Structure 1
């Protein structure tokens, strides 16, 4: 290469660097704009706590070999002001901050990834940081000490400021090789390594330290060209090697990761369906365009390098909006208006921009401007906006209807992708496949006598401070027990139908469904309609109390990995006697058996024969699962419980 060519390459690298720095600065400013005012100082305090190690500050770990200190971290006035607000009692130390400064700096970079600084950022957004280090320079003991320090800072942020912070200790050398170890109980490396790197490159904000050199290379280069350009970094030049870290190039994504990523997203959808519906759609779009489309991170980088046609417009580029635009183009081209509408609604709800509520022009953020532009483009009416903005007051049926549409899309998307993928070439490990598959089976599968999971994206909104339970006579004979949201005593017709939540053949199954799906707890007022003898509201309240203790709501994603890799076993068993029979009799007239399993499923069956069929799982395993007995209050309840115990070899603990 001639000196002139080398000069041109360096000039191009410098121009890209300036635009990347401008973009990074804009993302930081966006992050701070969207943060609640009380949390803005934390944005500056968290890097500082990684930079120092002192007993007067959170994150202190005793010992001479504790790695700390952030590369290229400077003590600016903005940081000084933030620290004064966070740590007023340590002001004397902050006034002479040099005494806290590290002799050596062990952390190459602190990088944010995820929704922060995008239109998807909300007041409840987690702070997900990559703490980038060179593992070759640190011993296992030092890495363990640094991890301890990070955990202490996470706990401080949660306890003192109710801010959820996650630090992912990332070895630069392993990231370069797409080795992400184990995350959240499953191997991210086997499920979606390159996809995770794409996600990182698409959303990252360098908070402090070195920038990924990836940002400086053009959007479409080979790995060989990537390292050739890295060779232009020279000590003492405007492109200092110490300013950058090598996390590796990313030419294209790997289709072999798609199946693992798809079932991963289905798993995530159990907790965050609004986020997962967009991410699952992104996977399907990638599969359809794998041969001729660049990874999203490279498309984003191209726009940053181009200054989005003008250098001043770099600040308008949003990773989340860019992803969303890709999805809409794809599903519009397939003439799937119902999917397009679902994605639009999910984006709007997730972003939480209440456009039906006017704001002062001075308070209008970039996020509101982008979402308002979308809504105008979609042609939504003010009535539609008001309806979505009033989501906290939606009826139970409206919430469930949207949730069903979301989960239906996720399942159909997964099936379409599975049909196009060769499972033999997928990189997800056998163990991960087993764990993820069993979680999905627990959450989605329908089985005889199983209590179904309410597929809701509204866990925080489906809780009922008050429910009404009614018994209806079926036309062909028999009974239906129905739970309604709120106080519906004396109400009939359409008003009643709008609050209907669930109906079953017996009240035990009905209340257990409410407990397992977080609709009721011990504080819920249960209103029982007339003509339900012999069942009383006291019976229902007592049963709910015991069900909450024995069969608490299950977070399927929190099920232990070891349990899912082991054979399924009964975890707890409860027998309920004579719940709906006349209480004057002193004999066992009705048996209802409830049991939960180590795979997170709960079942309800009827009859003594149901208990007999479980004898092996209850009696011949070690340790034997605990068994309990509940008899509704009556003058004969003790005798009924005693007689039942005498007739069964299995020991039962009687509940009051």
Structure 2
């Protein structure tokens, strides 16, 4: 009887394993189908570069202690073809790889996670890999050398192949214990541990090496049953325990991670709002269904194990679409129609299937089929699809309007969740909370004299190669400046209003705002409309050049952890003299101070007293911030600078 039960258990495990392997293979095929043809070889080349350590290949580390080699990795013809395509001058090296083949395998698994192989994959999708190693076997010194190798391959991929690759060196034992380090860069740290593991299980593709044993365990099992099942496997049997790694079981998510996860997603939204809208919605849906819903990864696994109700149909399962269906059903049931529409639009823009345009021959991918099914179900017309497909032709105001809807939803979602959570029980560490909180404060908060961030997720589309500045005089003698996208010289009325970007009493503030928000750079043309003396277009373009050099756009999530845990300090300061006044006098008639801090904020203050108020920060800080002066070209330029320096003891440098 016991033997019969054992055979039944192994038989069921084998069936599940075959379906998991078929699903994993389908995800790999989808990944390759959506990659541009010139990038497909990289899918095979990147694992190979971690498998070997050769001076003629990227990622080589000249040290005999560097660990390398992927478990269960074999050299196939498609890998050889990919290597030859990437390194045609080194073809002889790949004819016989035995001399460079590792004798030992240090890396247990190389696993992709994220949007790759789903409907959300695009030509610009990052490759996020977990490089799984056994910390009980690999020493700290070994991890150090392996990290150097991983970094070298990342740099080669970025510089030579134009693709963003992230290798996360993951100790299997730490992952099992839900320890993901501190919040830094792409790492969420303590902000979301179990949630991160859930996302990993939902989206992972095993590229090489061992698979997570989690994949074999029925979704209804408890953690005790998980380990009981694992203990029944015998070496040399089918399945063999050496084929798997134990990253830990996941029965349910932890509501005490939700607050940290929510502020983490708010932070991510500063760079990728469409993805974060969906993920923030997922957090809220989880909170609302805490008592009766399984984690999405378990629902996905059940569908894979069931063959999606028909053996062989696992290839049709898409984790991103599965998540999206769950979100839409939730908000539709609550009759939140505006939220449903926003999520639909964000999914469509994120996936970019371009359904209003005919597909090229042989290019009807699984993504296009799934998205076309959604569009038909939603009742979208071709003109509605064309509008979303032609995002590049949207006006500045249309882009800003959608961005505001996105950020409004994110903030409202965050507030609703915060009101339902017990703050005392949240698991995010104090330091991680400080780092994440200060990033959010930098981006969202309004402060006196601060140059505000444009809440947009369209950094690449907000850029304007040409901007027009117009000035209007009010009765009280005040001047109002307005920036418009494009060449709007001599234009008035409603067509002009569609191109309006921002208004201020100062052209310096407008230009600083534009540079900080990636709207303008030194290559842009800044046009001046009529009647703006004494300003010239040369003045504007030179100021833009210096603003970009001293106060370049900030990527909030890249702000160093060390800087955010310390008090804010000024790291650059520029004084602008006599920018809008007549240039004939040799005295200081107008003073504008622009400075940035180590927390990523930029401020602009007018008047000589502004400099006096910042004297201590500028004089006593170590290292002392760079202090410069910009004065528009004119015959009195040097004398104006000398006059300014007579009234300050600070070491200012005159910009050319």
User: Normalising to structure 1: TM-score of the pair?
Assistant: 0.97
Kindly indicate whether the alpha-carbon contact (under 8 Å) linking 1:187 and 1:432 is maintained by their aligned counterparts in 2: no
- In structure 2, the CA distance between the partners of 1:510 and 1:232, relative to structure 1 (3 Å rule), is same
Extract structure 1 runs of 4+ deviating beyond 6 A: none
Structure 2 equivalent of residue 101 of structure 1 = 101
SS at match of 1:45: helix
Q: Deviations over 1:382-426 (max 9, x none)?
A: 001111110011111111111111111111111111111111111
Matched, 1:440 2:444: no
- In structure 2, the CA distance between the partners of 1:361 and 1:577, relative to structure 1 (3 Å rule), is closer
Shift of 1:574: 2.0
Structure 2 equivalent of residue 592 of structure 1 = 592
Q: Deviations over 1:547-571 (max 9, x none)?
A: 1222222211121211111112222
Structure 1 equivalent of residue 511 of structure 2 = 511
Alpha carbon RMSD of aligned pairs, Å? 1.7
Structure 2 equivalent of residue 287 of structure 1 = 287
Structure 2 equivalent of residue 257 of structure 1 = 257
SS at match of 2:115: coil
Q: Deviations over 1:143-189 (max 9, x none)?
A: 22222222222222223221221111111111111112235348634
Structure 1 equivalent of residue 233 of structure 2 = 233
Matched, 1:358 2:384: no
Gaps of 5+ in 1: none
Structure 1 equivalent of residue 58 of structure 2 = 58
How many residues end up aligned between the 2 structures? Answer: 656
Kindly indicate whether the alpha-carbon contact (under 8 Å) linking 2:575 and 2:594 is maintained by their aligned counterparts in 1: yes
- In structure 2, the CA distance between the partners of 1:598 and 1:151, relative to structure 1 (3 Å rule), is closer
Q: Aligned equivalents of 2:281 and 2:475: distance in 1?
A: 44
Shift of 1:303: 0.4
Which range moved further: 200-209 or 602-611?
602-611
Structure 2 equivalent of residue 316 of structure 1 = 316
- In structure 2, the CA distance between the partners of 1:231 and 1:622, relative to structure 1 (3 Å rule), is closer
- In structure 2, the CA distance between the partners of 1:497 and 1:244, relative to structure 1 (3 Å rule), is same
Structure 1 equivalent of residue 499 of structure 2 = 499
Q: Aligned equivalents of 1:571 and 1:70: distance in 2?
A: 44
Q: Deviations over 1:473-497 (max 9, x none)?
A: 3366522101111100011101110
Structure 2 equivalent of residue 213 of structure 1 = 213
Shift of 1:538: 1.8
Matched, 1:21 2:21: yes
Shift of 1:297: 0.4
Q: Aligned equivalents of 1:376 and 1:187: distance in 2?
A: 38
Kindly indicate whether the alpha-carbon contact (under 8 Å) linking 2:554 and 2:600 is maintained by their aligned counterparts in 1: yes
SS at match of 1:575: strand
Kindly indicate whether the alpha-carbon contact (under 8 Å) linking 1:186 and 1:432 is maintained by their aligned counterparts in 2: no
Kindly indicate whether the alpha-carbon contact (under 8 Å) linking 1:44 and 1:79 is maintained by their aligned counterparts in 2: yes
Q: Aligned equivalents of 1:522 and 1:75: distance in 2?
A: 48
Kindly indicate whether the alpha-carbon contact (under 8 Å) linking 1:574 and 1:593 is maintained by their aligned counterparts in 2: yes
Matched, 1:472 2:469: no
Q: Deviations over 1:428-477 (max 9, x none)?
A: 11111111111111111111111111111111111111111100133665
SS at match of 2:136: helix
Structure 2 equivalent of residue 173 of structure 1 = 173
SS at match of 2:120: coil
SS at match of 1:169: strand
Shift of 1:651: 3.4
Kindly indicate whether the alpha-carbon contact (under 8 Å) linking 2:157 and 2:165 is maintained by their aligned counterparts in 1: yes
- In structure 2, the CA distance between the partners of 1:571 and 1:499, relative to structure 1 (3 Å rule), is same
What are the residue-to-residue correspondences of 1:480-499 with 2, within 5 Å?
Answer: 480-499=480-499
Structure 1 equivalent of residue 140 of structure 2 = 140
User: Normalising to structure 2: TM-score of the pair?
Assistant: 0.97
What are the residue-to-residue correspondences of 1:47-196 with 2, within 5 Å?
Answer: 47-182=47-182, 184-185=184-185, 188-196=188-196
Shift of 1:39: 1.4
